[in-house]
Amino acid sequence: MLKLPIYLDHNATTPCDPRVVEAMIPYFTNNFGNAASRNHPFGWQAEEAVDIAREQVAKLIGADPKEIIFTSGATEGDNLAIKGVFEMYASKGNHIITCNIEHKAVLDTCKHIEKEGGEVTYLKSTPDGLIDLAELEAAIKPTTILIAIMYANNEIGTVMPMKEISAIAKKHGVLVFSDATQAVGKIPVDVNKDGIDLLAMTAHKMYGPKGVGALYVRRKNPRVKVTAQMDGGGHERGMRSGTLNVPGIVGFGKACELAMNEMEADAKRLSKLRDKLETELMKLEEAYINGSTKHRLPHVTNISFKHVEGEGLLMGFNKDIALSSGSACTSASLEPSYVLKALGLGDDLAHSSLRFGLGRFTTEDQIDYTIEAVSKTVTKLREMSPLWEMYKEGIDLSTIEWAHH
């Protein structure tokens, strides 16, 4: 039996895997110790659990456990990496290169850096949601200290050419930071093969708990340092003070171990389901896939259904299917997704988009149900869309003088 509602918003967050929860439970009650308590068994037990988790996390991204700094999540990791490098390498330069489809946690941190006297170059995304490597190289100057490019995009799922990016960075002696929130645990990420110096990740996007994440900081070739953004007891080798979230960290470690073992099979299964969903929905007229279909995550697709508005579309089935739209009719600005706009989509197409994020527990039944519900609603709403009627009559919508508000 198909159980409703169906969850297809895995880019926003994922459920905890029951095996993760099971691993965490003892660390709330019996093994509640502070990992920094060095003088009794409660502390030792907690410290040991954290050490195991650190190894599990490190292993997933091909790092050394000593290179893992536990944080509260990817937003903190983004802040610590960018602000930390900016402050630590101030004598070397003040220029950072990033991209205009990064997550707000990176873009807003860069805005903050600009206020602090830093200089930031925002590379323009290509129309398929990637970056132009020639443009990247051209943007590097003697004062450039950091290139901050996400591993995979949260809205359209495109995967950036990290190896090529880091090769260019290395040639110019610039550090590479990657917000890999959407990629880690979904596709193979290896900080050495990919040439990444700092990498942010979070547990709750990979079937772990919310409120815990990690920043990878390279220790060799080159040895990278960041200034702490949180002062206190000097935890995490002085880079991130604050009592460790032991149950969260244990869960994060378990989630990494599971991903290590299962991500390949998950990706294979989910890309098949995603392709089925996409192929069926693309049978609707005037449907467009946003972002590269070649370089992208296996479980994500973002589709615009022209002449229907995303939020109105969601309302047709959001009791039963949890999805996201690039339209933002509820926000005061009424501005649609900045990521879709950066791809060069007109506001009308950006307003008409749906993001599908499949996950470990997604079934074929759920995909079949979704195909039918979305197709039905798109058709129904087009029947009541004046734009669809005009389109069908052959009227060029761009020639109409709209009353702009």
Partner 1 sequence: MAYSEKVLGHYQNPQNVGTLDKSKSNVGTGLVGAPECGDVMRLQIEVDEATGMIKDAKFKTFGCGSAIASSSLATEWLKGKSIDEAMTIDNMTIVEELHLPPVKIHCSVLAEDAIKAAVNDYRKKNGMPEVKFEESVIH
Sites for partner 1 among residues 136-155 (CB under 8 A): none
Question: Contact between 26 and partner 1 (CB under 8 A)?
Answer: no
**Is 402 an interacting residue with respect to partner 1 (CB under 8 A)?**
yes
161 versus 316: smaller Cβ distance to partner 1: 316
User: Encoding tokens for residue 353?
Assistant: 């988009």
Contacts of 256 (CB under 8 A, 6+ apart): 53, 56, 57, 59, 60, 185, 206, 208
The CA-based diameter of the chain, rounded to the nearest angstrom, is: 79
Residues 337-356, interacting with partner 1 (CB under 8 A): 346-348, 351
- What's the CA gap between 270 and 367, in Å, rounded? 10
From 29, 91, 330, 399, residue interacting with partner 1 (rule: CB under 8 A): 330
- Between CA 239 and CA 328 the distance in angstroms is 37
State which residue, 91 or 331, has the beta carbon closest to partner 1: 331
For the record, the structure tokens of 380 come out as 């129904």
- Residue 403 binds to partner 1 (criterion: CB under 8 A): yes
Q: Tokens standing for 155?
A: 């809205």
Three-class DSSP category at 270:
helix
CA distance 39 to 336: 55
Helical pair 364-383 and 246-281, crossing angle rounded to 10 deg: 60
Interface pick for partner 1 out of 4, 265, 282, 384 (rule CB under 8 A): 384
Q: Give, in degrees to the nearest 5, the angle at Cα 190 between 47 and 81.
A: 65
CB within 8 A of 76, min separation 6: which ones? 213, 215, 240
Distance between first and last Cα of the chain: 47
| Pick 202 or 352: Cβ nearer partner 1 | 352
Q: Single out the residue of 115, 386, 396, 399 in contact with partner 1 (rule: CB under 8 A).
A: 386
331, 394, 396, 399: residue in contact with partner 1 (rule CB under 8 A): 331
Q: Is 329 marked active-site?
A: yes
Stretches 97-105, 140-148, 252-260, 383-391: which one binds partner 1 (CB under 8 A)? 383-391
The torsion angles phi and psi of 50, rounded to 5 degrees, stand at -65, -40
Give the range of 56-64, 70-78, 116-124, 379-387 binding partner 1 by CB under 8 A: 379-387
Taking CB under 8 A as the criterion, the residue among 200, 214, 308, 354 binding partner 1 is 308
Is 1 a binder of partner 1 (CB under 8 A)?
no
List of residues contacting partner 1 (CB under 8 A): 307-309, 311-312, 315-316, 327, 329-332, 334, 336, 346-348, 351, 383-389, 397, 402-405
Residues annotated catalytic, as ranges: 329
